[in-house]
């Protein structure tokens, strides 16, 4: 059956930043497709865990401070120990700092680059090492940004980190595709989450944004979840090194 292409039964997915927003949407979508989920982050995962368990899947909350790359190996090892195996890694956790580039501080640069790029690389590395040691294939999905393609304003370190993530995704795919490890990325557009509350509350700014989106609406986390299921599933077995924009057509405008 065609639906088997998207069946994740028996798989275990690690999702960072799964407590809310995009991460929660991805975690729930993967559970709907049959996967158990290791939900990683600093905040409470109670709401995400409840939604996953309501679907009859298992959720393993894992506390970790992803601002430090040195925790990457521990996160993957603890996830495998808790769930018995690991198959899918979704690097969703990230931070953003805003300031005019003329005033941007080294502290803000380093904080964003460490969390959004350095830690993500070492999570990918640790995941690949675990998959190779276990002798089975796997999927790595990095959550990039429209700023992997565009420059933006007042977010130099965020743009650099997400542009770097797109490039890193291609590099890792080049090295690992033949080893059975697929590495891809998703670039979300403007989504209705708590991170965009202020934008959506500003009538002028919200109208400007909607006017640029061909789909005519803000995205929702489940829109990203569908793309994540595709990239995590057998349906995407010949997809390597790509960054899929899920943006309502924003980049094509």
Q: For residues 96-118, give the mean pLDDT.
A: 97
Q: Which helix (H) or strand (E) holds 232?
A: helix 221-232
C-alpha dihedral, 162 to 166 to 169 to 171, nearest 10°? -120
Please list the residues that pair with 59 across neighbouring strands.
37
Residue 1's pLDDT band (cuts 50, 70, 90): very low
CATH homologous superfamily for the domain 2-245: NAD(P)-binding Rossmann-like Domain (3.40.50.720)
Q: What are the contacts of 200-205 at 24+ separation with CB within 8 A?
A: none
Average of per-residue pLDDT across 86-91:
98
Backbone phi and psi for residue 42, each to the nearest 5 degrees, phi listed first: -90, -25
Of 28-32, 189-193, 243-247, minimum mean pLDDT range: 189-193
> How large is the average pLDDT for residues 25-52?
97
How far apart are the C-alpha atoms of 126 and 221, rounded to whole Å? 27
Q: What is the pLDDT of residues 45-68, one digit of tens each?
A: 999 999 999 999 999 999 999 999
Overall pTM surpassing 0.85 (yes/no): yes
**Active-site residue numbers?**
158
pLDDT at position 3 is 60
Mean pLDDT of 197-221: 91
Residue 123 has pLDDT above 70, yes or no: yes
Cβ atoms within 10 A of the Cβ of 65, count?
11
Tell me the β-bridge partners of 187: 245
In contact, 123 and 165? CB cutoff 8 Å = no
Cα distances (Å, whole numbers) of residue 22 to 6, 13, 144, 205, 222: 20, 15, 12, 22, 8
């Amino acid at each position: 059956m065609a639906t088997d292409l998207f069946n994740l039964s028996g798989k275990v997915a690690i999702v960072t930043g799964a407590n809310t927003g995009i991460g929660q949407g991805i975690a729930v979508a993967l559970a709907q497709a049959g996967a158990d989920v290791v939900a990683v982050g600093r905040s409470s995962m109670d709401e995400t865990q409840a939604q996953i368990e309501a679907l009859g899947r298992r959720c393993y909350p894992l506390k970790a401070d992803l601002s430090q790359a040195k925790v990457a190996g521990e996160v993957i090892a603890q996830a495998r120990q808790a769930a018995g195996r690991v198959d899918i890694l979704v690097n969703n956790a990230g931070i953003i700092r805003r300031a005019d580039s003329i005033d941007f501080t080294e502290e803000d640069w380093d904080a964003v680059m460490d969390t959004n790029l350095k830690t993500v690389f070492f999570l990918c590395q640790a995941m690949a090492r675990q998959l190779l040691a276990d002798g089975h294939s796997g999927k790595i999905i990095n959550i990039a940004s429209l700023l992997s393609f565009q420059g933006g304003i007042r977010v130099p370190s965020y743009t650099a980190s997400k542009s770097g993530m797109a490039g890193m995704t291609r590099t890792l795919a080049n090295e690992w595709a033949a080893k059975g490890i697929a590495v891809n990325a998703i670039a979300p557009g403007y989504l209705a989450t708590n991170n965009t509350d202020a934008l959506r509350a500003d009538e002028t700014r919200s109208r400007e944004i909607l006017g640029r989106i061909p789909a005519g609406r803000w995205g929702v986390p489940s829109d990203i979840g569908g793309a994540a299921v595709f990239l995590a599933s057998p349906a995407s077995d010949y997809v390597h090194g790509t960054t899929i924009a899920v943006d309502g057509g924003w980049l094509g405008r």
